[in-house]
Amino acid sequence: MEDTELRQKFDALEKRIGDVYASAEKTRKYFLTLLVVTVIVFVLPLLGLVFAIPSFISTYSEITNI
């Protein structure tokens, strides 16, 4: 092989590696976004219920004692 052919192949491989890296970064950002959305949609309401359920129970027990 000549030097120019080898250099062209290395350049092509370098471009492909750059494309794979960009794709991996997009996937990483997607999973991070998915994790944040999961926390907002699922975990935060559960934490809210930790405070809401005792309040509801005390209100309900007051109503039943009347």
- The predicted-structure confidence for 24-57, as pLDDT tens digits, reads as follows 999 999 999 999 999 999 988 998 898 888 888 8
- CA dist 63 to 11, 49, 50, 54, 59, Å? 77, 20, 21, 14, 6
**Which tokens in the block code for residue 16?**
């492909």
Provide the whole-model pTM: 0.62
**Amino acid 2: pLDDT:** 86
**Amino acid 26: pLDDT:** 98
Give the contacts of 63 (CB within 8 A, at least 6 positions apart): none
